[in-house]
Amino acid sequence: MQAYKQLEERFGQIQALKQVSSLIDWDKSVMMPEKGGFQRARQMEVLNVKIHEMQTDPAVGDWLSAVNRNDLTAWEQANVRIIEWLYAHATAVPAQLVARKMNQQTKTEMIWRKARVESDFKLVRDELERLLDIVREFASAKATKLNKPLYDALFDNYSPGMTSAEVDIIFDDIGAFIPGFLNDVMAKQKPALPLKGPFPVETQKKLCLQIAQFLGMEPQWSRLDASAHPFSMGIGDDVRITTRFNEKDFTNAMQAVAHEVGHGLYDRYTPREWHSQPVGASLHMGLAIHESQSLSLDQQLARSREYWEFMAPHVQRAFGKEGAPELSAENLYRHVTTVSRGFIRVEADEVAYPAHVIMRYRLEKRMVESKLEVKDLPDAWNAEFEKLIGVEPPNDRLGCLQDIHWYMGAFGYFPTYALGAFLAAQYVDKIKRDTPDYNDQMRAGKFSTLTSWLTGNVQMKGCLYTPMELVERATGQKMSTSYFKKHLTERYLS
């Protein structure tokens, strides 16, 4: 058989098993009875070891060497590029080191849960030190094999082809912009009327299903459930998103739905004929592009005045509170655009959010490069936080213990959260320039003007282009922070 066909066959199987892995992971968070965790961990382990074996098989390397790219279509060439990237990452680290990392992650994460509850960093310090040692070893193995700087070798796994040098430029620019901007917004903003809950979960759930449909998620190929942390899972024509319900504030669930629908549409609208190959899996475009889809909906659209002008009557009707002043479009808009100096990233507003990310990026890069040690992390955290957000966290639970990422060994992940926000602003700026009555369309609930642009320019392209090529083709411009700053200025200061 031709080398390319061999690769397609193998990675078609791998793709199917990865879908199974996503599915049982979804099940774990949404459906599994409480005591099922022990067996589930074992199932995940066996399945993922099997996938790893199939991916690191030396035959894959042979096929990659033998494949003649000139004989291939553009999609097939892109598929080979992704397979090469997957193979390089999977084979860069000895199996024994992968196992040690997994093992240390599990331990560290377990103790982190306790440390966070008790707000006591010392409890987890030693385990995190051990984990960071392994992460450094891991980064070093990858750096050698992939011929990249230490941090970049990790970051590349989450954002293929991007470098920390590029991130530095972008984050330095935004990092310099935010503190002053935050001051200006906070001096100017007027408080929203408080929402008057409780808002029954069942009603919120119905409302969220309606919103998901308004945003283009059709029930024939999707589900909406509840889980402790909102997330999405998409495998072809089977897209599942979750949200969480707060009885005091229904906008939490609504924003999470807009966010996760963005991810879900991406999974749904990569080209169907490539769903079973790596080039058709949105994940392989990296998390910055994925996040640009969710934030186009969650931030660009669902925090806009026009969106709330359309939504407010639906909200009022759902809760049987027609005409309630706190549920007016203006007040709801004000509610979801309130800016604050909060300590928690996942509760942060659109203005402060990038600052939360930037400080984590700076810290984790220094940790990986052995310029910051675990024992000094809490102080370094608090100093960075004060510099960017202007206040100091009162304890570690509201500081360096708040996110799971480092404690589960995920270094190099954070930057993607902010890059997605900048890209979303760049897309919407482009769409608005091409669609003069864009705001009227949003006000009328014609959200497909936004979503079908995303589908046509991003989602349907699968992994045909590299992330930065894709952005340039879609918007006519290289990635830039100027659109995000313009967007914030228009929404928050005009």
Residues in the site for a copy of itself, rule: CB under 8 A? Answer: 12-13, 16-17, 19-20, 23-24, 27, 31-36, 38-40, 42-43, 45-47, 50, 219-223, 235-240, 275-276
Which residue do the tokens 């030693």 mark? 126
Instruction: Report, in Å, the least distance between residue 492 CB and a copy of itself.
Output: 38
In the bound complex, what is the minimum distance in angstroms from residue 444's beta carbon to a copy of itself? Answer: 28
CB of 257 to a copy of itself, least distance (A): 16
Give Rg (Cα) of the chain: 23
User: Which residue, 68 or 220, is less far from a copy of itself as judged by CB?
Assistant: 220
Of 9 and 62, which has the nearer Cβ to a copy of itself? 9
Question: Which residues, 6+ apart, have CB-to-CB distance to 199 below 8 Å?
Answer: 247, 248, 249, 250, 319
Q: Closer to a copy of itself at the Cβ: 39 or 477?
A: 39
CB of 114 to a copy of itself, least distance (A): 22
Instruction: Report in angstroms how near the CB of residue 281 gets to a copy of itself at its nearest.
Output: 12
Q: Which is nearer to a copy of itself, 200 or 236 (CB)?
A: 236
Q: Return the closest-CA partner of residue 4 out of 54, 69, 94, 58.
A: 69
Helical spans, DSSP H, in 352-481: 353-368, 377-389, 415-434, 438-443, 448-457, 467-475
Least distance to a copy of itself from the beta carbon of 20, Å?
5
**464 closest CA partner among 88, 163, 73, 146:** 73
Q: Do β-strands 232-234 and 239-243 pair in parallel, antiparallel, or remain unpaired? A: antiparallel
Alpha carbons 483 and 427: distance in angstroms, whole number: 9
Nearer to a copy of itself (CB atom), residue 38 or residue 187: 38
Q: Is the peptide bond before 194 cis (omega within 30 degrees of 0)?
A: no
The residue assigned the tokens 């993922």 is 48
Comparing CA positions, the residue from 58, 134, 56, 65 lying closest to residue 92 is 56
Q: Which is nearer to a copy of itself, 240 or 263 (CB)?
A: 240
- At its nearest, how many Å lie between a copy of itself and the CB of residue 450? 23
Which CB atom, from 16 or from 346, has the smaller least distance to a copy of itself?
Answer: 16
In this structure, the number of other CB atoms found within 10 A of the CB of residue 333 comes to 21
